[in-house]
Structure 1
Amino acid sequence: MLSLTGGLLGLIIGAVLGLTGAGGGIFAVPALVFGLGMDIRDAAPVALLAVGAAAALGALQGLRQGIVRYKAAIMLAAAGTVTAPLGVQLAHWLSPRWLNLVFVAIMLVVAYRMFMSSRGSQAEGDLAEVPPKVCKVSKDTDRFVWNVRTATTLGSIGVVSGLATGMLGVGGGFIIVPALAHFSELRMHSIVATSLMVIALLSAVTVFIAWSHGLSLTAPTSAFVLTALVGMAGGRVLARRVPSRMLQRVFSITCVSVAALMLMRNIG
Structure 2
Amino acid sequence: MLLASLFGVVMGLVLGLTGAGGGILAVPALVLGLGWSMTQAAPVALFAVGSAAAVGAIDGLRHGLVRYRAALLIAALGAVFSPVGIYFAHQLPEKVLMVLFSLLMVMVAWRMLRRERVDEGPSDHGHANWGQKNCMLDQQTGRFSWTAKCTATLAALGAVTGVVSGLLGVGGGFLIVPAFKQLTDVQMRGIIATSLMVISLISAIGVVGAFHAGVRIDSVGATFIATSIVGMIIGRKLCARVPARALQVGFASVCLIVALYMLVRA
TM-score range, shorter chain: over 0.9
Q: Which amino acid aligns with 2:249?
A: R
1:120-168 Cα distance to aligned partner (Å, 9 max, x none): 15x447xxxx852211123444321211111111111110000011111
1:81-112 Cα distance to aligned partner (Å, 9 max, x none): 11100000010000110000111111111111
Moved more, 15-24 or 210-219: 210-219
2:127 matches 1:120: no
2:211 matches 1:211: yes
Q: Which aligned pairs between 1:103-182 and structure 2 lie closer than 5 A?
A: 103-116=101-114, 119-121=115-117, 123-124=118-119, 131-182=131-182
**TM-score where L is the length of structure 2:** 0.93
Structure 1 residues 255 and 141, CA gap change in structure 2 (3 angstroms): farther
What are the ranges of 5 or more consecutive residues in structure 2 without an aligned counterpart?
121-129
Structure 1 residues 131 and 66, CA gap change in structure 2 (3 angstroms): closer
TM-superposed CA distance for 1:187, in Å, is 0.6
The aligned residue for residue 247 of structure 1 is: 247
1:15-35 Cα distance to aligned partner (Å, 9 max, x none): 000011111011100000111
TM-superposed CA distance for 1:261, in Å, is 1.1
Q: Which aligned pairs between 1:19-58 and structure 2 lie closer than 5 A?
A: 19-58=17-56
Task: Count residues with an aligned counterpart.
Answer: 257
Moved more, 36-45 or 246-255: 246-255
Q: Which aligned pairs between 1:227-246 and structure 2 lie closer than 5 A?
A: 227-246=227-246
Q: Which amino acid aligns with 2:87?
A: Q
Q: Which aligned pairs between 1:13-24 and structure 2 lie closer than 5 A?
A: 13-24=11-22
TM-superposed CA distance for 1:241, in Å, is 1.6
Q: Which amino acid aligns with 1:151?
A: T
CA RMSD, aligned part only?
Answer: 1.4
Q: Which amino acid aligns with 1:76?
A: I
Q: Specify which structure has the higher proportion of helix.
A: 1
CA contact (8 A) 1:142 1:186 kept: no
